[in-house]
Amino acid sequence: MKITGITVYKVKPRWIFVKLSTDEGIDGWGEMISGTKTETVVAGAKELGEYLVGRNPFEIERLWQELYKSFFRGGPINGTIVSGLEMALWDIKGKFCKLPVYEFLGGKARDRIKVYSWVGGDRPDDVAREAIDRKNRGFDAVKMNATEELHYIDSFAKVQAVVDRVASIREACGYDFGIGVDFHGRVHKPMAKVLAHELEPYKLMFLEEVVLPENEEAFREVALHVSTPLATGERLTSRWQYKNLFQEGIIDIIQPDVAMVGGILETKKIISMAEAFDMAAAPHAPYGPIALAATLQVDVCSPNVFIQEQSLGIHYNRGFDLLDFVKNKDIFQYKDGFVEVPEKPGLGIEIDEETVKKVAAEGLRWTNPKWHNYDGTMAEW
């Protein structure tokens, strides 16, 4: 079997789908992250994708090494391109062999996968009502953004507003309900210590990205103020960037993104290494249906994954949602806060390419918000 071509689709609300075709009529699908550089990713995908034409799609490790190991390597652009292409290679291999991808990675380690739901939006509001809604739908865990704009040193009123929101969920849903709070890198070290300490009484499931990854030395300082598990990893672009986290031993939960760190096998390698350090995993997956389907393949065979992010109904999905592009919609049907292990071959997902083509024809321009503090300085989003 040989790869014969690559097709890239820019799809609203903020997704990039890639299809690899073969001379035996088997197509493989992958997904890349648009971020704020959609056209750059698309151009890079076509450039690297052409390198795969004429190659054997089954030689995934060999092709990954050749795609990743350029002289100037790494970074989110190259990371997401390689990730999307790698997913598509696994999809081809699984479909040809009539097996789900996880069967190549050790097979099932679980019977079902626990998932959580987002509440509150970018600027969190009315989180208790939304949490009750999710609980009524069977979820027993949610995640929310902690705060909106926050300066290096800011008012305690903003801290108290976060505490009040979290307290409202805890009061409404009880202590057997998981609450993840995402600082989203919006909080600088001085306020991160304050905010984490003030949230400690609410027995949270985890605190996520309490500081930006480039300030990872501050994780230790925040950890001194709380016993709440700390999570990070969504912005890291390779297994090599995880080395310090493993060696330091401060982070409790890693959150690799299959569409960023190099694809399915790389995510599996990272999560397996975390297991050796007695660390949990909760993979990052707030994007489109292909990335989520690929992530579920890793979840199935990774015993230290304790919960999975999923993006049905997330605040970014305006106009279109995951199921709009999927024929076998049962793959993302949640029951009592769990999703079943996918059984179909490859990534387990059947893409509605006609709908993809139609939406892609509308074009895509997505940028993350540009926020500013009260004095006009740029605030982290």
**pLDDT tens digits for range 260-275:** 999 999 999 999 999 9
Please indicate, yes or no, whether residues 158 and 92 belong to a single structural domain of this protein. Answer: no
Place of tokens 């939960």: 253
The pTM (predicted TM-score) of the whole model is 0.95
Distance of alpha carbon 137 from the chain centroid: 22
The pLDDT tens digits for 41-87 are 999 999 999 999 999 999 999 999 999 999 988 899 999 999 999 99
CA nearest neighbour of 365 among 36, 81, 8: 36
Please indicate, yes or no, whether residues 107 and 213 belong to a single structural domain of this protein. Answer: yes
Contact 364, 288 (CB under 8 A): no
Please indicate, yes or no, whether residues 202 and 252 belong to a single structural domain of this protein. Answer: yes
Please indicate, yes or no, whether residues 122 and 171 belong to a single structural domain of this protein. Answer: yes
Burial 85-117 (b: 16+ CB within 10 A, else e): bbbbbbbbbbbbeebbbbbbbeeeeeeebbbbb
Please indicate, yes or no, whether residues 269 and 162 belong to a single structural domain of this protein. Answer: yes
Domain boundary among 99, 124, 144: 99
Pairing assessment for the beta strands 112-119 and 28-33 based on DSSP bridges = unpaired
Give the type of residue at 33.
I
What is the CATH number for 69? 3.30.390.10
Within a domain: 72: yes
Please indicate, yes or no, whether residues 18 and 118 belong to a single structural domain of this protein. Answer: no
Within a domain: 290: yes
- Three-class DSSP labels, 101-128: HHHHHCCCCCCEEEEEEEECCCCCCCHH
Within a domain: 363: no
Within a domain: 379: no
The pLDDT tens digits for 125-140 are 889 999 999 999 999 9
What is the CATH number for 140? 3.20.20.120
d(C-alpha 33, C-alpha 42), whole Å: 10
Please indicate, yes or no, whether residues 85 and 210 belong to a single structural domain of this protein. Answer: no
Within a domain: 324: yes
Question: In terms of residue numbers, what domain contains 78?
Answer: 3-99
Distance of alpha carbon 339 from the chain centroid: 16
Separation in Å, CA 334 to CA 101, 114, 277: 21, 9, 31
Write out the catalytic residue numbers: 184, 284
Please indicate, yes or no, whether residues 59 and 108 belong to a single structural domain of this protein. Answer: no
Distance of alpha carbon 285 from the chain centroid: 2
Please indicate, yes or no, whether residues 330 and 294 belong to a single structural domain of this protein. Answer: yes
Within a domain: 75: yes
Within a domain: 94: yes
Within a domain: 374: no
Place of tokens 């006009």: 376
- Three-class DSSP labels, 165-209: HHHHHHHHHCCCCEEEEECCCCCCHHHHHHHHHHHHHHCCCEEEC
Contact 271, 251 (CB under 8 A): no
d(C-alpha 363, C-alpha 377), whole Å: 32
Taking phi over 0 as left and psi of -120 to 50 as alpha, with beta for the rest, 375 belongs to alpha
d(C-alpha 215, C-alpha 31), whole Å: 29
Q: How many domains does the chain have?
A: 2
Burial 311-349 (b: 16+ CB within 10 A, else e): bbebebbeebbbbbbbebeebbebeebbbebbebbbbbb
Question: What's the helix, strand, coil split of the chain in %, to 5?
Answer: 40, 20, 40
Domain boundary among 38, 65, 99: 99
Please indicate, yes or no, whether residues 311 and 223 belong to a single structural domain of this protein. Answer: yes
Domain boundary among 99, 133, 168: 99
Q: What is the DSSP string of 49-68?
A: HHHHTTS-TT-HHHHHHHHH
Please indicate, yes or no, whether residues 257 and 312 belong to a single structural domain of this protein. Answer: yes
Please indicate, yes or no, whether residues 272 and 317 belong to a single structural domain of this protein. Answer: yes
Strand, coil or helix: what is 5?
Answer: strand
Per-residue pLDDT of the chain (381 residues; tens, 9 = 90+): 999 999 999 999 889 999 999 999 999 999 999 877 999 999 999 999 999 999 999 999 999 999 999 998 889 999 999 999 999 999 999 999 999 999 999 999 999 999 999 998 888 888 999 999 999 999 999 999 999 999 999 999 999 999 999 999 999 999 999 999 999 999 999 999 999 999 999 999 999 999 999 999 999 999 998 999 999 999 999 999 999 999 999 999 999 999 999 999 999 999 999 999 999 999 999 899 999 999 999 999 999 999 999 977 776 666 678 889 999 999 999 999 999 999 999 999 999 999 999 999 998 887 888 999 999 999 998
Give the type of residue at 373.
N
